[in-house]
Amino acid sequence: MLDEKFAVRKKVRGRLRIALIYPSTYKVAISNLGLRIIYHLLNLDDRIYCERFTAESDRSIETGSHLKEFDLIMFSYHYEPDLLEIIRKIIRLNLLDRPKIIGGPCTCNPFPLKGIADYIYIGEAESSLMELIEGIMDGVGLEDLARLEGVFVPQVSETARRAYPRKLDTFLPALQVSSVQSVFGDALMLDVSRGCGWSCLFCLGRSFYAPYRERSLEQLVGVMREGIMRGGYEAVVLIASDLSRYSKLDGLIEAVGEIRRMRGFRLIAPSLRADAMNEDLLDALAESGEKTITIAPESCEELRYRIGKGFSDESFLETCRLLKRIGISRVKLYIMFGLPGETLSDLEKVVKLIKEVKSMGFEVRVSANPFVPKPHTPMEDEELEDQKSLRRKLKFLKRELGGMLATDGIKQAYLQALIARGDERIGELLVEAVKEYGEPTLAAMRRKAEKMGISLDDYARKGSVERPWRRIKLN
């Protein structure tokens, strides 16, 4: 049982049936605000019935209908290795002849998707996604659809410009689908802002969600009040690249306090900048019962400055002391390894920093993954470090950090790099590998690549020589 609230139920007959697929687990899918917004946005239209799917089943959550019964199939694409699951579903269920839209931040490089998608939507859904779907419903020609902002049509497009709302007071449901199985539990999710005013050179989100925009305090408070009082959520999640930067933060914190006095709930801020902490916000988090804060030192001080995160180790440690004083007992730290120019000495400094945090009495968890160059970032031309070197570095981190450490591993980073800066040939390779092997290992993909005359290592380390994603304009 999923124990959901506010899932949409409609009669099927006479409606365009849209399958909205998140190509990962249900737990990850239900924790994604973008998916919630699109789901409710589509279902506002009485001509449409949108139902959800995950990688775990070919039957919809709402009615148990099989994916083959749907008129239009949409994939939400947030993490490059999920492309394999997207391709597996399409090949296994023979969906190549069904109209398909792929959207999400990874579409900033649509070229590996050209062989499997009919339409690629690049940007934020509230801008022109409904216009695309209405065009499909009305039988509008491909050339005309390709003229819509944010729409890349593989058969006719070679370029596109990202679509996004210039003002952020867009549709945000107060009674949004939720489940206790979410990463956050039964929670109402609010995106306080989009975009980022900082200059981290490695970050795709900074480019994909630019420019920085804020929701009005009035909308946030109204949605939060309705969601808590009518929806009975157990938590509210405030999502922003830098929550402390929100210009009406004092008013938001005050409103949180007022609503919590009427009905208690836990306040969650999934990620905060270590160099921009707001003590009133931290107090509100702690008072609501939040015990865990996630912050990202990324690397040692010297490399941190080099990649655009300009704060010192001492500043980071002072933030941790503040968290301890306020009553936070657990911290999750994100770090990267394999950054350009990184040495073992740099990693030793990172380990020393983490152990200092641990010595303050925190329960510490560390997520450590290789640096993967992403398109549309200032570091898009950097190389992925050699796998042997990355394995040595990960082995060192595991030895030093023990049970504190979690990682997606070197192979996942390799696959991520391969797809992120890939082109049509990489898309063809993945399709052929799935056709032959079903769930291809990296070794199987390498064998298929050799047969197709593709150097997997060159693509993973350096990306496509053509740099096709540069034809896509993000702003």
Q: Are residues 135 and 209 in the same domain?
A: no
Both structure tokens of 247: 């210009």
Residue 408: the pLDDT is 96
The answer to whether residue 438 sits within a structural domain is no
- Of 392, 400, 302, which is closest to residue 355 (Cα–Cα)? 400
268 with 152, same domain: the answer is no
What pLDDT does residue 471 have? 97
Residues 214, 299, single domain; the answer is yes
**pLDDT tops 80 at residue 224:** yes
Residues 157 and 224 in one domain: no
Domain co-membership, 68 together with 42: yes
For residue 266, give the 3-state DSSP assignment: strand
What pLDDT score was predicted for residue 197?
82
Distances (CA, A) of 172 to 76, 176, 270, 451: 18, 9, 19, 49
| CA–CA gap between residue 455 and residue 425 (Å, rounded) | 11
Alpha carbons 419 and 104: distance in angstroms, whole number: 14
Crossing angle of helices 387-401/410-420, nearest 10°?
140
Q: Is residue 474 part of a domain?
A: no
Q: Which of 356, 382, 403 is the last residue of a domain?
A: 403
Asked whether residue 273 is domain-assigned, the answer is yes
Q: Based on the fold, state whether residues 377 and 231 are members of the same structural domain.
A: yes
- Longest alpha-carbon distance in the chain: 65
Residue 468 in any domain: the answer is no
CATH number for the domain spanning 48: value is 3.40.50.280
Task: Give residue-wise pLDDT tens across range 11-33.
Answer: 999 999 999 999 999 999 999 99
In a domain, 471, yes or no: no
Is the same domain home to 146 and 190?
Answer: no
CA angle 139–142–147, rounded 5-degree value: 110
pLDDT in tens, 323-378: 999 999 999 999 999 999 999 999 999 999 999 999 999 999 999 999 999 999 99
The residue out of 344, 375, 403 marking a domain boundary is 403
The dihedral built from the CA positions of residue 301, 303, 305 and 308, taken in this order, carries a sign that is: negative
Residue 459 counted as domain residue:
no
Same domain, 157 and 189: no
- For position 1, what pLDDT does the model report? 62
Task: Give 198's pLDDT tier (boundaries 50, 70, 90).
Answer: confident
pLDDT of residue 36: 98
- Nearest one of 474, 280, 285, 306 to 375, comparing CA atoms: 474
In a domain, 233, yes or no: yes
Note whether residue 425 is domain-resident.
no
Q: CATH code at 235?
A: 3.20.20.70
Contacts of residue 457, Cβ cutoff 8 Å, sequence gap at least 6: none
Last residue in a domain, options 403, 421, 440: 403
Q: Answer yes or no: do 148 and 216 share one domain.
A: no
What is the per-residue pLDDT across 146-189, written as a single tens digit (0 to 9) for each? 999 999 999 999 999 999 999 999 999 999 999 999 999 999 99
Question: In terms of residue numbers, what domain contains 325?
Answer: 178-403
Q: Are residues 157 and 222 in the same domain?
A: no
Confidence of residue 7 (pLDDT cuts 50, 70, 90): very high
Contact 325, 307 (CB under 8 A): no
Residue 232 confidence (pLDDT): 97
Count up the domains in the chain and report the number. Answer: 2
274 and 351 housed in the same domain:
yes
- Structure tokens that stand for 273 in this block: 């900048």
- pLDDT at site 274: 87
Do 119 and 236 reside in the same domain of the chain?
Answer: no
